[in-house]
Homo-oligomer: A and B are copies of this chain.
Amino acid sequence: MKELIDLIDKHLEEYVPIRYPEDIFKAMKYTLSLPGKRLRPVMCLETARLLGADIQKAMPTACAIEMLHVQSLIHDDLPCMDNDDFRRGKPSNHKVFGEATAVLAGDALLTYAPMTIIEKSKDLTSDQIVKILKEYTRFGGALGLIAGQVVDIESEGGKLVKTPEETLDFIHLNKTAVLFRLAVRTGAIIAGADDNTINEFDEFATKFGLAFQIYDDIMDEISSFEEMGKTAGKDKESGKLTYVSLYGLEEAKNKFNCLIKDCYDIIGKYKSKIFEEILDKLKTRVAS
């Protein structure tokens, strides 16, 4: 896992060199280079590898998905959004570079990500690139990631999809699960997988995404700033709709455990050390 993360970090560094005007590239690279688990690119590369592709073939796409993720973090932290001063234990982008540059750094990453897929994917055909970009734009935009963010904001104002339960699921299927889905789907496409296999990985990523969000909600409830790398206990303070606030801590843990069990079941046959390590880590922390 560590080697894979290092490899991703190295490529993120390489794909985004500092050019003129330096400030925008510095701002993009600042949040991009904060130490992270790199779960989305790891899952993209590991899916490609499990299905028979060389991971280098998937590297530009994996890194592009991380850029998309980081973009959403930069804009999420803005004063007009979640107004969070910290991210991964460091001052958030707008605290370092100012709001205007943070908005533009996010915008820049949104375009830099598909550019990286196009320009760096030397071993993919145009057909494959178009297929990947189709997934990228579907899952990463108004029909995916951003839909989740909008409903998240609206739910804070008391507006619900239907019930609180459905609202919460909608938010996190879109806001959280969608990028894990994008990661495994594109990894599978790069490996030339058939639709059944793509759907199998998609189901894994969907369940994993929900479990991951419940994990995040549980951690927000029980962790300190040092453990989270961002302001903890914020959800509770703001009366935010979370799995913990809606179902209580114990029931949230139950839901989490069921989803993680399903994940093990789906992915078991591939004997992936990486995926097992990811699942084990989440499970251990929630159980502790």
Contact = CB atoms under 8 A, between A and B. Distances in A.
Given A115-B138, A115-B141, A107 B110 contact: yes
B107 A147 contact: no
A20 B147 contact: yes
A107 B137 contact: no
Contacts of A21: 147, 150-151, 154
A126 B21 CA distance: 32
Contact of A119 (B25, B101, B134, B161): B134
A117 to B, nearest CB: 9
A127 interface: yes
Contact of A24 (B100, B114, B147): B147
Contacts of A127: 126
A222 interface: no
B24 A108 contact: no
A103 B101 CA distance: 13
A288 interface: no
Given A100-B80, A118-B130, A141 B75 contact: no
Interface string A48-86: 000000000000000000000001000100101100000
B101 A153 contact: yes
A218 interface: no
A30 interface: no
Interface of A: 19-21, 23-25, 28, 71, 75, 78, 80-81, 98-101, 103-104, 106-108, 110-112, 114-115, 118-119, 125-127, 129-130, 133-134, 136-138, 140-143, 146-147, 149-151, 153-154, 161
Given A78-B103, A106-B107, A118-B134, 10 more contacts: A20-B147, A75-B103, A80-B100, A81-B103, A107-B110, A110-B111, A111-B140, A118-B137, A126-B127, A126-B129
29 contacts: A20-B161, A21-B147, A24-B142, A24-B146, A24-B147, A24-B150, A71-B107, A75-B103, A75-B104, A75-B107, A78-B103, A80-B99, A80-B103, A81-B103, A101-B150, A103-B103, A107-B107, A107-B146, A108-B146, A110-B110, A110-B141, A111-B136, A111-B137, A111-B141, A112-B141, A114-B133, A118-B133, A126-B130, A129-B130
